[in-house]
């Protein structure tokens, strides 16, 4: 990579691929399926907590929705505004993390954070029959992952790290250290405020955008980032 290149415009392929899949899924549901078909697709590939308490959720696309819907729901969106909002944030936070992790690790991280969001939503909303859709849980997971390294000395948002591709590969901060960074604390505070707003706003009757999943995805990304991170920690660092 040219050291003079602008990393912000060098979007990793996995980020573009995930956004493209989400866009194709939404377009397919909107233009290729009638209302009944679109609803059946959402119930098959969206995350439905009621599926796990013995309630029968018909799925004409085959069995196994209990497994695949833990991740597949993240590729479904309620409308173009929902998709565009997630895509814009994912282009920023997702690109920073994916550039560091590489395409395969980033895809696995996306799946893990989506699943983390689904599992927390399942615990809190046990028996809920309304499908949950959207990449927000994974997007928040990537934001949490970015917190672990972007504020480090020489990192992407430091004066010396701007426009420097190597800034994306500085050693990540241990979790306890990252949570003491005032910029990280401010970002987390803004994220919590956003989720309070989400919790107070009524959900659409046709699908759910779950603040619980946002929290689950964020915590998964924050706690498990080191599992996916290929950059060795600094000698003497402790913590996840």
3-state secondary structure 111-170: HHHHHHHHHHHHHHCCCCCCCECCCHHHHHHHHHHHHCCCCCCCCCCCCCCCCCHHHHHC
Burial class (CB in 10 A: 0-12, 13-18, 19+), 141: buried
CB 174 within 8 A of CB 237: yes
Q: How confident is the model at residue 237 (pLDDT cuts 50, 70, 90)?
A: low
**In the chain, where the domains are located:** 7-227
CB 144 within 8 A of CB 226: no
Residue range 151-189, pLDDT digits in tens: 998 888 875 656 678 899 999 989 888 888 888 888 888
Residue 10 or 151, more confident:
151
Predicted pLDDT at 49: 94
Predicted pLDDT at 57: 86
Q: What is the DSSP letter of 9?
A: G
| Nearest by Cα to 72 from 124, 32, 123, 114 | 114
Predicted pLDDT at 70: 97
Q: What's the pTM? A: 0.88
- Minimum mean pLDDT among 140-149, 199-208, 210-219: which range? 199-208
Residue 89 or 236, more confident:
89
- Minimum mean pLDDT among 54-63, 95-104, 192-201: which range? 192-201
Architecture of domain 7-227: Up-down Bundle (1.20)
């Amino acid at each position: 990579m040219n050291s003079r290149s602008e990393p912000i415009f060098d979007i990793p392929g996995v980020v573009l691929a995930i956004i493209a899949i989400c866009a194709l899924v939404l377009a397919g549901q909107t233009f290729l399926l009638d209302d009944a078909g679109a609803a059946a697709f959402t119930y098959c590939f969206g995350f439905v907590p009621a599926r796990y308490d013995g309630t029968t959720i018909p799925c004409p696309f085959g069995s196994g929705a209990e497994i695949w819907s833990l991740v597949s729901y993240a590729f479904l969106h309620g409308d173009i505004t929902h998709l565009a909002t997630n895509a814009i944030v994912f282009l920023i936070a997702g690109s920073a993390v994916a550039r560091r992790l590489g395409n395969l690790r980033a895809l696995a991280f996306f799946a893990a954070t989506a699943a983390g969001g689904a599992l927390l939503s399942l615990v809190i909303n046990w028996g809920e029959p309304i499908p949950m859709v959207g990449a927000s849980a994974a997007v928040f997971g990537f934001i949490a992952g970015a917190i672990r390294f972007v504020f480090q000395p020489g990192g992407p948002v430091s004066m010396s790290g701007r426009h420097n591709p190597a800034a994306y590969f500085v050693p990540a901060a241990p979790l306890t250290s990252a949570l003491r960074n005032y910029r990280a604390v401010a970002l987390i505070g803004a994220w919590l405020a956003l989720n309070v707003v989400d919790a107070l706003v009524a959900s659409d009757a046709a699908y759910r955008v779950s603040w619980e999943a946002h929290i689950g995805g964020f915590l998964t990304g924050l706690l498990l980032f080191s599992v996916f991170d290929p950059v060795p920690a600094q000698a003497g660092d402790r913590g996840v």
